[in-house]
Chain A
């Protein structure tokens, strides 16, 4: 079974600054996906960024980028130029691409509450 660990229950950052959220995972598989989801107070889960494990290049989406270290099983999220609207709970998630009983299922970390201060 896979596990996902987010060791930072809460983080805060000043508007326009940069913040990095940490995530580590454990798996014996070699083919998988990793995701960062954002959950604002509205409860709506929003995909921030995804990374395919077979890709060495780190994914980027505008102000969001990841540092994917496959050997270390680490997947951190960097938010640049933080905005007030980035305030939310952020979840790191793992999905196996191996098929079988794990097909399509997401395993989530505990979450990190990010607060952006003006």
Chain B
């Protein structure tokens, strides 16, 4: 099973600033995803992080607001740009080695924008 280290675990940020969240996996994985979980809500997929190419974003999410990098098969970052209080959420990294294995999740980053 994959072990995921997600940093930071929480942060309080000023509106208008940006925060970069890191996701480090202890093994090479095919698929990496970023999800958002707004307070008391379900998880919504932001994007698929593609190794060596631009991320694939879901409807309602754009690269300028949530730039994603994935330089190799074990690491990805998600940046939340020009933050507003509406961006206050838990952001989770998820990985899957292939379709026949379970999805593993990081412990999440709790972001509060003030």
A: which residues have CB within 8 A of B? 35, 42-45, 47, 50, 91, 95, 97, 101, 103-111
Contact = CB atoms under 8 A, between A and B. Distances in A.
Contact of B42 (A47, A50, A108): A108
A110 B42 CA distance: 5
A106 B99 contact: no
- The 7 A-B pairs at the shortest CB distance, nearest first, are namely A45-B105, A43-B108, A104-B31, A108-B42, A108-B43, A47-B102, A110-B42
Contact of B102 (A43, A50, A91, A110): A50
Interface in B56-106: 56, 90, 92, 94, 96, 99, 102-103, 105
B7 interface: no
Interface residues of B, number: 22
Q: Is the interface of B mostly helix, strand, loop or mixed?
A: strand
A106 B107 contact: no
Of A44, A50, A95, A97, most B-chain CB atoms within 10 Å: A44
Interface of A is mostly: loop
Given A43-B90, A45-B105, A106 B31 contact: no
Nearest to A111: B42
A10 B30 CA distance: 35
Nearest to B109: A43
Given A45-B92, A106-B35, A108-B43, 7 more contacts: A43-B110, A44-B107, A45-B94, A47-B103, A104-B33, A105-B33, A111-B41
